[in-house]
């Protein structure tokens, strides 16, 4: 059973069917004037309307991109470059997705100043911190809607209200929330909002940036004038068509999916915390997505746990350094102020609407067995030794964790 839907999702059958004609029969370039070009243009327009409808925007406010990361880059660099003469200060949080964080690091290298708001133990920012951080130089606030690792949801509406009062542009990365909780650009008071297709059972390699009418950004990709000159390049028509369909389906079934997923989530949280000793939930219990939970278990390491679960047919993920390409513990969990040793014992479970067949009792039994098995092996669980004196002999001076 696939429990890693925050990483990516399976393209749904309806979406796949909708895309098919645009690979071979309807292969025209939307910028051309003859029949098959016009057909592609029509499909593009319909998809744009569907995306716009799903977030209560106007079609001309939707720019198709190559995915969530590109949308974040376009929003942040696009505003920074456009408004650099007005000011060079940007406000964000301590635990943004790398697509936002790395973009801001890049801007820092170009002399922009960035304030990183703390997210505290519950993974939610405090509005007062934001108010204090605003200066006359602030041109942009970028705060993610739902966190991709722990699923906490930020007070976007309130942040947007403050940004608007101060005349500061406001961007949110809604990649994880879209299709899970209501995303209404009017209610959220946002100027820019990033979306991704492959998190909502659409194809990979396509996303969108909502840009509120009147907000101007400097393009990242220059060329043939597509997407109103904001994102050049012949459009990924099959991908965009699939994304449009996925948006329509997600929006239509939002309430039904929310009910279903949040009840599975709550059952899972209660049973895991009730069954497994020294198990904890990461992030605020209330302000969270219906489909994502993140636990931590004392004295075990996450990669081992993932391998044991995989052997039993469950695919999930962890924030342990041992599972990352950089051998770096999850910056999100670290930002919560957790002990680095505990970060290694984290487990993320993310559900999809198809997870209704997910048997929570059976899963918790298997999880509980895996955790206790690893604890039987773990000197951290079985010994009262003080390990502070044990030196790291393996990483040496370049160990990021030591």
Footprint of another protein (CB under 8 A): 299-301, 303-304, 307-308, 311, 320-323, 325, 327, 329, 340-341, 344, 376-383, 385, 387, 390-395, 399, 401-402
What is the spatial distance between Cα 286 and Cα 302, in angstroms, rounded to a whole number? Answer: 25
Shortest approach of another protein to residue 317 CB, angstroms? 12
Residue number with CB closer to another protein (161 or 312): 312
Active-site entry in 247, 322, 392, 399: 322
Q: How far is the CB of 299 from another protein (least distance, A)?
A: 6
Structure tokens at 172: 């949110």
Task: Give whichever of 109 and 325 is closer to another protein, judged by the CB atom.
Answer: 325
Edge-to-edge strands, sheet with 346-350:
279-281, 292-297, 346-350
The least CB distance from residue 205 to another protein, in Å, is 24
Question: How many other CB atoms are found less than 10 A from the CB of residue 42?
Answer: 12
> Which residue lies nearer to another protein by CB, 110 or 402?
402
Task: Please report how close the Cβ of residue 277 comes to another protein at its closest, in angstroms.
Answer: 16
322 noted as active-site residue = yes
Nearer to another protein, 35 or 379 (CB): 379
H/E stretch holding 136: none
Q: Determine the longest span between alpha carbons in the chain, in angstroms.
A: 77
Please state the three-class secondary structure of 175-230 as a single string. CCCECCECCCHHHHCCCEEEEECCCCCCCCCCEEEEECCCCCCCCCECCCCCHHHC
Q: C-alpha distances in angstroms, 52 versus 66, 90, 100, 169, 216? A: 17, 27, 23, 20, 18
CB of 276 vs another protein, minimal distance in Å: 17
Beta carbons within 10 angstroms of residue 222's beta carbon: 11
For another protein, give the closer residue by CB, 167 or 396. Answer: 396
Phi, psi of 349 (to 5 degrees): -120, 120
What are the residue numbers of the active site? 322
């Amino acid at each position: 059973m696939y429990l890693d839907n925050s990483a990516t999702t399976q393209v749904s059958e309806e979406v796949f069917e909708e895309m098919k004609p645009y690979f071979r029969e309807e292969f025209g370039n939307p910028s051309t004037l003859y029949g098959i070009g016009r057909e592609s243009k029509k499909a593009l327009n319909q998809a744009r309307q569907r995306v716009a409808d799903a977030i209560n925007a106007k079609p001309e406010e939707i720019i198709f991109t190559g995915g969530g990361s590109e949308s974040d880059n376009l929003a942040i660099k696009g505003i920074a470059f456009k408004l650099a003469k007005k000011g060079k200060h940007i406000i964000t949080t301590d635990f943004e997705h790398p697509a936002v964080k790395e973009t801001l690091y890049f801007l820092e290298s170009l002399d922009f100043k960035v304030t990183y708001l703390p997210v505290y133990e519950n993974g939610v920012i405090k509005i007062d911190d934001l108010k204090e951080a605003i200066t006359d130089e602030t041109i942009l606030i970028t705060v993610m809607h739902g966190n991709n690792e722990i699923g906490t949801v930020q007070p976007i509406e309130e942040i947007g209200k403050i940004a608007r009062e101060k005349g500061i542009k406001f961007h949110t990365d809604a990649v994880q929330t879209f299709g899970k909780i209501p995303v209404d650009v009017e209610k959220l008071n946002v100027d820019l909002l990033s979306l991704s297709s492959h998190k909502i059972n659409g194809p990979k390699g396509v996303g969108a940036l909502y840009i509120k009418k009147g907000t101007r950004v400097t393009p990242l990709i220059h060329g043939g004038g597509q997407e109103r000159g904001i994102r050049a390049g012949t459009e990924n028509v099959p991908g965009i068509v699939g994304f449009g369909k996925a948006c329509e389906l997600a929006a239509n079934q939002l309430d039904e999916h929310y009910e279903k997923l949040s009840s599975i989530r709550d059952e899972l949280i209660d049973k895991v915390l009730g069954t497994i000793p020294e198990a904890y939930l990461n992030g605020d219990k209330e302000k969270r997505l219906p489909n994502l939970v993140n636990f931590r278990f004392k004295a075990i390491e996450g990669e081992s746990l993932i391998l044991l679960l995989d052997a039993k047919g469950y695919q999930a993920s962890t924030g342990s350094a041992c599972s990352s390409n950089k051998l770096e513990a999850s910056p999100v969990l670290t930002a919560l102020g957790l002990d680095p040793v505990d970060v290694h014992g984290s487990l993320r479970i993310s559900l999809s609407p198809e997870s209704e067949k997910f048997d929570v009792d059976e899963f918790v039994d298997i999880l509980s067995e895996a955790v206790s098995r690893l604890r039987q092996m773990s000197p951290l669980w079985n010994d009262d030794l003080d390990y502070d004196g044990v030196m790291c002999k393996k990483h040496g001076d370049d160990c990021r964790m030591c």
